[in-house]
């Protein structure tokens, strides 16, 4: 027996620079129509848009290592936008946030899925976040790898 999930309930991030990162994340979550559920010393937790984002400060004795997406653990996570224009709106918002870094502005990525359009940025600690839009059913729809008549699962993944 298998179980189909209904998305991701929440993501918890630990940051080294809570003074910069907690306001960044709270502002981003509010822009994404999420609401603050918990705000306290070294923590903010926002919910809405079918998920939750909890950000907490790393203990003071463990703030000596910066985020490294190539170490074991989180590489990045991706919000799914309803429209291409939403990706553009998030880009404009993030560009105005202190400490945020745009890795790449909104761009097409047909190598990932039909109609794929995404933005990639980093929070003030360097945690990578993507926002993408894929029209229709993506890989499960017409023209998609797993859709009717599609070529099926990829056999060779890039390096």
Give pLDDT tens digits for 56-65.
999 988 888 8
The total of structural domains in the chain comes to 2
Cβ 140 vs Cβ 146: under 8 Å? yes
Residue 156 domain-assigned (yes or no): no
The CATH number of the domain holding residue 133 is 3.10.180.10
H or E stretch covering 39: strand 35-40
Cβ 38 vs Cβ 25: under 8 Å? no
- Whose CA is closest to 99, among 25, 24, 44? 24
pLDDT beyond 60 at 122: yes
Please give the residue range of the domain that contains residue 28: 7-59
pTM as predicted: 0.85
**36 and 96 housed in the same domain:** no
Cβ 110 vs Cβ 100: under 8 Å? no
């Amino acid at each position: 027996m298998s179980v189909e999930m209904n998305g991701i309930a929440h993501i918890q991030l630990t940051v080294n620079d809570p003074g910069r990162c907690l306001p960044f994340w709270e502002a981003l979550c509010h822009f994404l129509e999420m609401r603050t559920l918990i705000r306290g010393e070294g923590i903010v937790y926002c919910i809405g848009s079918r998920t939750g984002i909890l950000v907490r400060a790393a203990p003071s004795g463990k703030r000596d290592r910066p985020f490294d997406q190539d170490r074991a653990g989180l590489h990045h996570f991706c919000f799914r936008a309803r429209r291409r224009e939403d990706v553009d709106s998030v880009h404009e918002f993030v560009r105005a946030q202190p400490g945020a870094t745009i890795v790449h502005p909104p761009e097409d990525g047909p190598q990932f899925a039909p109609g794929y359009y995404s933005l990639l940025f980093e929070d003030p600690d360097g945690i990578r976040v993507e926002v993408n839009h894929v029209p229709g059913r993506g890989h499960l729809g017409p023209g998609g790898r797993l859709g009717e008549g599609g070529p099926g699962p990829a056999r060779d993944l890039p390096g």
